[in-house]
Chain A
Amino acid sequence: MESITLLSLDRWLHFLAGVTWIGLLYYFNLVNVPAMAAANADKGGPGPAAIGKYVMPRALLWFRWAAVVTWLSGAAYLEAAPNYSLLGAFTLGFGANNVQLTTIGMGAWLGTIMLFNVWVLIWPNQKKVLGIVAATDDEKAKARRVAFLASRTNTMLSIPMLLFMGAAAHGLPF
């Protein structure tokens, strides 16, 4: 198989994993957070326990591993693609006068910060919230806030990140 075909497959994998990751991130922020609030407020309703027990562990499993696959396939693409380099991207193309390299590098940095947030802030704190690891009520309340803000931060960062991932090949908007 020619290397260009492998490169295309890697890029395809990057897109698929990225859609899975960011799609679940938007699900958490646009659907799950307000749904949990509504379930807590609905005193006569079934409550949020089922979401926490059956939905969240599965969603978080796909979420955190899709993030890893997205990052690894993206890094492999940057290293193998003829017009990019991993080092050049992560040094933001300083001195290269190559706007494509700087743009994809900015996207790569935002994606890397988001991966850090997933594995260092969101997942360890969600384990406390969901009862996967033992925690007091105070620890759970703090963990819920940290995980929430990290998730919202990733949603915010995804907006410029997606712009730059596309703009590297198709141009900046202004």
Chain B
Amino acid sequence: MVFEYNYFAERREAPWSRKYNRRHGARTPNHANGGRRMNPLDSITGTIVSGLVLAVILVFVIKAIAGI
């Protein structure tokens, strides 16, 4: 028996992905998917970490622009 790969099978999307929600007609914000929060700004910790990461990146941008 020869194994045949089904090239036409629909790719399975994770049920918390926005693509899964679009295919299944559920227009829900991603923070509502089973409590999985995908936007770091939904939490204070995520907001602070994002701000710190942005600060480090922008320091390098400043140094590049100022030529130091």
User: Are A160 and B63 CB-contacts (below 8 A) given A30-B44, A99-B68?
Assistant: no
User: Are A106 and B48 CB-contacts (below 8 A) given A99-B66, A145-B29?
Assistant: no
For chain B residues 31-68, which have a beta carbon within 8 Å of chain A?
A: 39, 41-42, 44, 47-48, 50-52, 54-55, 58-59, 61-63, 65-68
Q: Tell me the bound Cα distance from A97 to B55 in angstroms.
A: 20
**CB-CB < 8 A to A172: which residues of B?**
59, 62-63
Interface size on B, residues (CB 8 A): 21
Is the CB of A40 closer than 8 A to any CB of chain B?
Answer: no
Q: Tell me the bound Cα distance from A97 to B63 in angstroms.
A: 10
Binds B, one of A117-125, A127-135, A147-155: A147-155
Main secondary structure of the interface of B (DSSP, over half): helix
Q: Name the contact of B62 in the complex, choosing from A97, A103, A149, A157 (C-beta under 8 A).
A: A103
**CB-CB < 8 A to A92: which residues of B?**
65
Tell me which of A29, A156, A159 has the highest count of chain B C-beta atoms within 10 A of its own C-beta. Answer: A156
Interface residues of chain B, those whose CB is within 8 Å of chain A, are 29, 39, 41-42, 44, 47-48, 50-52, 54-55, 58-59, 61-63, 65-68
Please list 21 pairs of residues, one from A and one from B, whose beta carbons are closer than 8 Å in the complex, sorted by A's number. Answer: A29-B47, A94-B65, A99-B66, A102-B65, A103-B62, A106-B58, A145-B29, A149-B41, A152-B41, A152-B42, A156-B41, A156-B48, A156-B50, A156-B54, A157-B54, A159-B51, A159-B54, A160-B51, A160-B54, A164-B62, A172-B59
